[in-house]
Amino acid sequence: MPRRWSSAGRRDTASRQGEFFPHRQLRRPGHRRGGHRLRSRSRHVGNGGELPGVSFADESCGQCTPCRIGNVKLLEGVRMLRQGTCSSKYLGELLRSGETMQVASKCGLGQSSPTRFLSIVKHFRHEFLGTLVRRSEENRKKTMSQKNPCADGTCRTPTSQRPQVIATSTAIGAASEMVAITIDGQEVKVPWARRSWMLPADLASTYLLSATTTTCASPAFAACVWSR
């Protein structure tokens, strides 16, 4: 039987359409024609602007499952990445499901829609993750300055009694992953989403209530809680 789509001896150009890859890989076999996108050294993909948008999820016809639900999950994952709330574990799940979409979808839309995401993460992983980590940190600081009564001067707790909260983990984490924070010199493990006590009031009150009653029984900490 003739092997019509054999990849032996040559690269399948069509299957790599839409890939992002660095300039130094330009001369590799299979990259000489087709709709590839090149990234020069002066541009970087880390801001997430090159990630797939809503178009694939909208264009899917909905007949085969990998394309119908997979595109939606991919889009959700991209949004989580942009917000800095996607864990590295879930990123791995997204990559594997993207590879499944490439082989299990019926038509070319589902087969090619994860290509951009997969190739960006494959070729620009460090650049990509570094920017997103920085962004999540920036978001955290922004939230901190908005929600921290100590920072904006509305907290009436004396400076000497204020808790010092230091987030020791800067990794991208899921809401359920635990990170260690130091409160008044006492190390407490809290979920990543609540790693600082400068959070929206509803979340903060939930966490602080439980923290004061279980592990973190610091009076200064509790005083600052209730003064808000």
Partner 1 sequence: MCLVEVAGQRTLQASCAYPITQPITVNTHTQKVRQARRHVVDLLLSEHQGECYSCFRNNNCELQALAKEYGVDFFRFGHPEKPPHQIDRSSYSVVRDMNKCVLCRRCVRTCIDLQEVGVLEAVGRGDKTTISTYLDKPLGQVVCINCGQCINRCPRGRSRRMTPPTRCGRPLTTHQTRRHADCAESPRRHGRGIRFDAGTPVTWS
Q: Which string of x and - marks every residue 140-169 that binds partner 1 (by CB under 8 A)?
A: ------------------------------
* Contact with partner 1 (CB under 8 A) among 28, 93, 169, 187: 93
CA distance 103 to 115: 11
Based on CB atoms, which residue is closest to partner 1, 64 or 193? 64
Shortest Cβ distance from residue 97 to partner 1 (Å)? 5
Based on CB atoms, which residue is closest to partner 1, 68 or 79? 68
Sheet (strand 186-191) strand order: 165-167, 178-183, 186-191
Shortest Cβ distance from residue 61 to partner 1 (Å)? 5
Tokens of 220: 């200064």
Tokens of 67: 């394309």
* Contact with partner 1 (CB under 8 A) among 36, 51, 111, 224: 111
- Cα 158 to Cα 58, 155, 224, 227: the distances in Å are 54, 8, 9, 11
Its sign, for the CA torsion 217, 221, 227, 228, is negative
Residue 200's contacts (CB-CB under 8 Å, 6 or more residues apart) are 143, 147
- Residues in contact with partner 1, counted by CB under 8 A, come to a total of 34
* Contact with partner 1 (CB under 8 A) among 73, 79, 123, 140: 73
* Contact with partner 1 (CB under 8 A) among 66, 84, 114, 163: 66
Q: Does 187 participate in binding partner 1 (rule CB under 8 A)?
A: no
Q: Does 70 participate in binding partner 1 (rule CB under 8 A)?
A: yes
Q: Does 58 participate in binding partner 1 (rule CB under 8 A)?
A: yes
Q: How far is CA 8 from the centre of its chain?
A: 36
Q: How many CB atoms lie within 10 A of CB 206?
A: 12
Q: Between β-strands 186-191 and 178-183, what pairing exists: parallel, antiparallel or unpaired?
A: antiparallel
Listed residue (24, 30, 53) closest to 116, CA to CA: 53
Based on CB atoms, which residue is closest to partner 1, 4 or 24? 4
Q: What is the largest CA-CA distance in the chain?
A: 83
Q: Does 91 participate in binding partner 1 (rule CB under 8 A)?
A: no
- The HSE-up count of residue 37 (CA atoms within 13 Å, CB side) is 15
Shortest Cβ distance from residue 14 to partner 1 (Å)? 9
Based on CB atoms, which residue is closest to partner 1, 15 or 131? 15
Residues in touch with partner 1 (CB under 8 A): 1-7, 12, 15, 57-62, 64-66, 68-73, 93, 96-97, 100, 102-106, 111
